[in-house]
């Protein structure tokens, strides 16, 4: 960063402005039927139409097409929660990046800890998925994070390093403008326990340093890195005040229009 960039950066931080456009993304997981999704959006849209952050919702596959229609003309973008890395083929039960792109999906959550833990997804597979997403012009939201056991063993940073290294393997010369990373400590997901804002900021700053090492500094400075894990209306503001935290990936609280709107309009 040049001296001028540095001065601009400190001025912006003083004014509480963000260097990168914040993202608030809702991961609806396996919740909300098509009908419930429609009802929720009817409530949500008027509450967030003046928002200055980038808002993304990630519903389940069966709601994507209808939700895309409902979001037309709004400031909310559409994301999916998983995909296969191949374009087509004999992969029963899987969904291709081509199919997602065709119906208007822009973002794709990859490597969520629930996929890692419950469905055995591993870093090499996530790496293939990231490459496929970028190839098809989808923005991957790569999730990384340590379990409680790993945190107690004091190996959080090693785990994050390994996840980032393996998931981004071979991407050095790729255009990574579209990449978003989410730091989601597994012990904070759905538990009501949030990482302290300082801890979250430190790990995110570490992730940015890794991106700078593995890819390059310019890309690391541009990449939005979100925090996820029990983000609620009452803790979003303090998290967003931290210089390194560029937004939030929200689970439970993104299912209620009022709560999600409060988080978006923090
Ligand atoms: P909660 O906000 O429910 O803890 O979920 C976080 C999450 O897993 C988002 O991807």
Tell me: the pLDDT tens digits for 88-125? 999 999 999 999 999 999 999 999 999 999 999 999 99
- Grouping H, G, I as helix, E, B as strand and the rest as coil, residue 250 is strand
- How crowded is residue 49: how many other Cβ atoms within 10 Å of its Cβ? 12
Taking only the tens place, the pLDDT of each residue in 33-74 is 999 999 999 999 999 999 999 999 999 999 999 999 999 999
Taking only the tens place, the pLDDT of each residue in 229-256 is 999 999 999 999 999 999 999 999 999 9
Q: Considering the chain, what is the average pLDDT of its residues?
A: 93
Q: What is the pLDDT of residue 193?
A: 85
Q: What is the pLDDT of residue 162?
A: 98
The answer to whether the Cα torsion of 199, 228, 128, 78 is positive or negative is negative
The DSSP result for 8-55, as a single string, is: HHHHHHHTT--SS--EEEEE-TT---HHHHHHHHHHHHHHHTT--SEE
Residue 184 annotated among the catalytic residues of the structure: yes
Nearest residue CA, atom 7 of ligand 1?
A: 251
Q: Are 32 and 60 in contact (CB under 8 A)?
A: yes
> In angstroms, what is the span from residue 252 Cα to ligand 1's centroid?
6
At residue 59, what are phi and psi to the nearest 5 degrees? -85, -175
Q: Point out the ligand 1 atom lying closest to the alpha carbon of residue 229.
A: 4
In whole angstroms, give the CA distance from residue 249 to residue 28.
10
Q: What is the pLDDT of residue 174?
A: 80
Catalytic residue among 112, 114, 146, 150: 112
| Residue whose token pair is 């050095």 | 172
- Kindly report whether the global pTM for this prediction surpasses the value 0.85: yes
Q: What is the pLDDT of residue 36?
A: 96
Catalytic residue among 121, 146, 184, 244: 184
**pLDDT score of 215 more than 60:** yes
Q: What distances in angstroms separate CA 185 from CA 107, 114, 121, 156, one per listed residue?
A: 21, 12, 17, 9
Question: Which position has the higher pLDDT, 16 or 196?
Answer: 196
What's the half-sphere exposure (Cβ side, CA atoms, 13 Å) at 126?
29
In whole angstroms, give the CA distance from residue 260 to residue 77.
15
pLDDT band at 8 (very low <50, low <70, confident <90, very high): low
> In angstroms, what is the span from residue 39 Cα to ligand 1's centroid?
21
Taking only the tens place, the pLDDT of each residue in 136-191 is 999 999 999 999 999 999 999 999 999 999 999 999 878 899 999 999 999 999 88
């Amino acid at each position: 960063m040049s001296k001028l960039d540095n001065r601009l950066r400190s001025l912006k931080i003083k004014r509480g402005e963000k260097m990168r456009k914040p993202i608030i993304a809702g991961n609806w997981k396996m919740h909300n039927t098509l009908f419930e999704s429609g009802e929720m959006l009817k409530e949500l849209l008027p509450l967030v139409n003046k928002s200055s952050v980038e808002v993304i919702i990630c519903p389940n596959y069966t709601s994507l097409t209808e939700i895309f229609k409902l979001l037309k003309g709004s400031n909310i973008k559409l994301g999916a929660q998983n995909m296969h890395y191949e374009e087509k083929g004999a992969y029963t039960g899987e969904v291709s990046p081509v199919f997602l792109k065709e119906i208007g999906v822009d973002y794709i959550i990859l490597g969520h800890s629930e996929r890692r833990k419950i469905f055995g997804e591993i870093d090499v597979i996530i790496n293939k998925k990231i490459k496929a997403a970028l190839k098809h012009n989808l923005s991957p939201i790569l999730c990384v994070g340590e379990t409680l056991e790993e945190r107690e063993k004091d190996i959080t940073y090693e785990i994050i390093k390994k996840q980032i290294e393996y998931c981004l393997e071979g991407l050095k010369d790729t255009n990574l403008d579209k990449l978003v990373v989410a730091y989601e400590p597994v012990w904070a997901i759905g538990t009501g326990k949030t990482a302290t804002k300082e801890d979250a900021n430190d790990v995110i700053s570490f992730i940015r340093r890794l991106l700078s090492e593995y890819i390059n500094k310019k890309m690391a400075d541009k990449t939005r890195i979100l925090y996820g894990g029990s983000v609620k209306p009452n803790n979003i503001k303090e998290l967003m005040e931290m210089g390194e935290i560029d937004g939030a990936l929200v689970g439970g609280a993104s299912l209620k229009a009022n709560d999600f709107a409060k988080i978006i309009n923090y």
